[in-house]
Amino acid sequence: MMFRRVLTTVTAFALLTGCSVTATETQPPGARVVTLVTHDSFALTPELLDKFKGATGITIKPLASGDAGEVTNKLVLTKDAPIGDVAFGVDSTFASRALKEGVFAEYASPEAQKGAQRYQLDPPNRLHAVDVGDVCVNIDVAAFKDIGEPKGYADLADPKYKDMLVVEDPATSSPGLAFLLGTVDEFGADGWTDYWTRLKANGVKVVSGWEEAYTQDFSGSAGKGPRPIVVSYASSPSAEIGDDGAARTKALLDTCYRQVEYAGVLNGARNPEDAKKVVDFLLGEQVQADVPGQMYVYPSREGVALPEAWTKAAPLPATARSLPAADVDAKREQWVQQWRMLVQS
């Protein structure tokens, strides 16, 4: 029965994702390979991976699996036949689902006490915070010299800013979902739908993901799109510093929703002991110092210096919105469905 259940799970995964997946994967005798299931934006300086292999004998094999929502879905779907040993990229908007489904094994990394514990979700320590990437509305500063900059959510529905905002679909995009959750937090269960009705009337544009919104529609990026307001990250302005040393864009800090990305050892991993070492590595000082420059996120570890451009243009917001994980897990699909009916009908 278990063998049939595993085959069914793997076959379903292959059909849904178009990937060829097998329940077992052979490695050369004596090889120590840890498959790291991650989102598409995962990046580290290659020398760090080489140093880790030299120190431990472990090769980290990244397996890109979409954005945070897609990663979570794949991990849940394949939990009886894991596609890797450790996963990184399940974020705070989806973590409760992964925990409820038993995707991750218990492991208390000693490195977690250096700051990651601030974002702990469950006492068994199945997930460890690797980075923080607050989702915030960003603006193209130059576009508002004559009309004044928007300050918060309410301004985005002001006719003065008609046809200026582009957002990501919360059904297909992690920052899109974070922005939706931020509006629920701001306007409450009885008011967020009215707010989105006003956004729709004010010409909000919805696209499938962050890359399209930021690089094609946003006027403040290299793509020079037509819209000067976009849902992006608090760290995004650090990538938009001009020759004069000033950032061309700005995050509206009153609109930030805290998004934390986690790593954990997968239940049923072929190589759980080495997977634990990879989790330690991701929480270690060298990787934590590398993530701002490579993935444009803030390290979870305390005492890690940010790049100079960040301290000027993209400091971590002192406060950010969040909703209880249990509420997000219980109501996420309902909120997304309501959003679809309001905005896409």
- The reply to whether 2-132+259-307 and 135-257+316-343 are identical in fold is yes
What pLDDT score was predicted for residue 28?
58
**Average pLDDT of 135-156?**
97
Nearest to 179 by CA among 122, 215, 133, 147: 133
- Run of H or E residues at 332: helix 325-343
The pLDDT-based confidence of 25 (bands split at 50, 70, 90) is: very low
Asked if residue 255 has pLDDT above 60, the reply is yes
Give the percent of the chain with pLDDT over 70.
Answer: 91
Task: For CA atoms 200, 202, 205, 211, give the dihedral sign.
Answer: negative
pLDDT tens-place string over residues 171-225: 888 899 999 999 999 999 999 999 999 999 999 999 998 889 999 999 999 878 9
Place of tokens 């905005």: 343
* pTM > 0.85: yes or no: no
Q: 2-132+259-307 belongs to which CATH class?
A: alpha beta
**Domain ranges for the chain:** 2-132+259-307, 135-257+316-343
What pLDDT score was predicted for residue 123?
87
Coil, strand or helix at 261: strand
When the pLDDT of each residue in the chain is averaged and rounded to a whole number, the result is 89
How big is the chain, counted in residues?
345
**Average pLDDT of 253-271?**
96
What pLDDT score was predicted for residue 93?
84
Asked if residue 2 has pLDDT above 50, the reply is no
Asked if residue 144 has pLDDT above 90, the reply is yes
- CATH fold for domain 135-257+316-343: D-Maltodextrin-Binding Protein; domain 2 (3.40.190)
What pLDDT score was predicted for residue 6?
28
pLDDT tens-place string over residues 146-175: 999 999 999 999 999 999 999 999 988 889
Asked if residue 13 has pLDDT above 70, the reply is no
Question: C-alpha angle with apex 47: 111 to 36, nearest 5 degrees?
Answer: 55
